[in-house]
Structure 1
Amino acid sequence: MNASSPRVLVIDDEVQIRRFLDIGLRAEGYQVLLAGTAVEGLALAATQSPDLVILDLGLPDREGHEVLAELRQWSQVPVLMLSVRDAESEKVRALDNGANDYVTKPFGIQELMARLRALLRRQVTVGESSDMPPRYDDGRLVIDQVRREVLLDGTPLSLTRKEYAVLAMLLQHAGRVVSQQHLLREIWGASHVQDTHYLRIVLGKLRQKLGDDAAAPRWLKTEPGVGYRFLLQE
């Protein structure tokens, strides 16, 4: 580990979770900051400039949603929410309020590390306040946002306006979950935020054209009941 290693702030009131994450994160080369309360966590976030925050939803002094809202008033640091609550409404609320990802307890350390790497990779690739570069190319899929052109293995794909809009929005938030409501609001309009069948149809067509298997996705991953995620390829 060195001074340039990413710094991860863990805000969780469970001692065993903090210890588990401290050991796991340090083993992966991260610097770790630990807080057991919202007050302590916000103070560390303000003074220690973490590269990523792991935030528990159920803190003893304040709700995690409140902590996220306060943090978002002055920072766009990536936030991964942790919670024993697996209700879709909780996940959607967290994502719509500015969380970058959401993991339900109990969780596997390898899955958590993969989520962290994806969030940190996006920060390094595109910067905290910028969008994805106008051209994405992973060797198979090319998405040129200037020309509004999509190619698969060198062959142009014919996408409808909505298909392209959904693909482009997921790409702009690559590596993180975009909620169904956010996609519907931005692409179809505020009056269509409950029309989730629109998204299912469009995603089905996109997968068909990309040759992407929903059960083993290469690019478009469904987070059941919550939203979708564009998977960046190594």
Structure 2
Amino acid sequence: MVDITILVVEDDRAIRNLITTTLETQHYVFYSAKTGESAIMEAVSRAPDIIILDLGLPDIDGIDVIKKIRGWSNVPIIVVSARSEDRDKIEALDAGADDFLTKPFSVEELLARLRVTIRRLSYDAQIKPDETEFINGALRIDYRTRLVYIDEEEIHLTPIEYKLLCLLAKNVGKVLTHNYILQKVWANAIAEDVPSLRVFMATLRKKIEKDTAHPQYIQTHIGVGYRMLQIEQKKG
């Protein structure tokens, strides 16, 4: 039994049944809502661990539902929507969504996105308020000394590269849009600064990735942004 509760917000009966049946076969505990208003009420009363949200709801646009929930909760939100344009994905992620899955989708991909989110929840639960370091596979960030290591070998980063890496690390498993990163790292940045961001991200990758053609740590979401991948820890 997976000790995770999921709120499914979908007004299309066929798709809602597909998602809930998939969750049921995996022994997840789930609730469902057909409208934005009922979704917000369920999120308040049920306090789910994860929300799967459609954007095209009959009463409130899903983007507004995300914004309302983000006013009081950091619950992971996975958007499942027929909207496939990059601008739609960016708008949802900027509003506070954690992931975006485009319809039509396979149940295997949905379950994979859920597993990634659950791993991030597990990681977040282990972080202490006074956490002084970040460890992800061979990558280690020492926040006290502001030093970064790969396989315990110190990697020299510029101040901007260090800020980028820390921002990704503190949001491990979550897609961060170009705009979000720019605003967090360069407070006065504008959309036209994205090429500069790509240059800094490329130099950061060269320093921490063994093979930049097959990145292990920083995943590019073309036209959207970047995600720090969580590395499975070896047992034994």
TM-score, normalised to structure 2, is 0.90
Aligned residues: 232
Matched ranges for 1:54-133 at <5 A: 54-127=52-125, 133=131
Deviation, 1:114, is: 2.4
Partner Cα separation in structure 2 for residue 167 and residue 149 of structure 1: 11
Query: 1:169-225: CA deviations, max 9, x gaps?
Result: 001111000110111112122233421111111111111112354553211000111
1:214/1:221 contact within 8 Å kept: no
Task: Decide whether aligned partners of structure 1 residues 138 and 98 sit closer, same or farther in structure 2, where only a CA change above 3 A counts.
Answer: closer
Task: Decide whether aligned partners of structure 1 residues 82 and 128 sit closer, same or farther in structure 2, where only a CA change above 3 A counts.
Answer: farther
TM-score, normalised to structure 1, is 0.90
Matched ranges for 1:140-219 at <5 A: 140-213=138-211, 215-219=213-217
Task: Decide whether aligned partners of structure 1 residues 163 and 180 sit closer, same or farther in structure 2, where only a CA change above 3 A counts.
Answer: same
Q: Which of 50, 53, 60 is the matching residue for 1:52?
A: 50
1:212/1:219 contact within 8 Å kept: no
Deviation, 1:128, is: 11
Q: Unaligned stretches of 5+ in structure 2?
A: none
Partner amino acid, structure 2, of 1:154: E
Please say which of residues 170-179 and 121-130 is displaced more in the overlay: 121-130
1:76/1:128 contact within 8 Å kept: no
Deviation, 1:127, is: 4.1
Partner Cα separation in structure 2 for residue 105 and residue 212 of structure 1: 34
Deviation, 1:41, is: 1.7
Deviation, 1:155, is: 1.1
Deviation, 1:44, is: 1.6
Percent of residue pairs bearing the same amino acid type: 36
Q: Unaligned stretches of 5+ in structure 1?
A: none
Partner Cα separation in structure 2 for residue 75 and residue 34 of structure 1: 18
Partner Cα separation in structure 1 for residue 96 and residue 128 of structure 2: 16
Partner Cα separation in structure 2 for residue 52 and residue 116 of structure 1: 8
Task: Decide whether aligned partners of structure 1 residues 8 and 148 sit closer, same or farther in structure 2, where only a CA change above 3 A counts.
Answer: same
Partner Cα separation in structure 2 for residue 134 and residue 90 of structure 1: 36
Aligned match of 1:18: 16
Let me know the Cα RMSD of the aligned residues. 2.2
Partner amino acid, structure 1, of 2:23: L
Partner amino acid, structure 2, of 1:219: Y
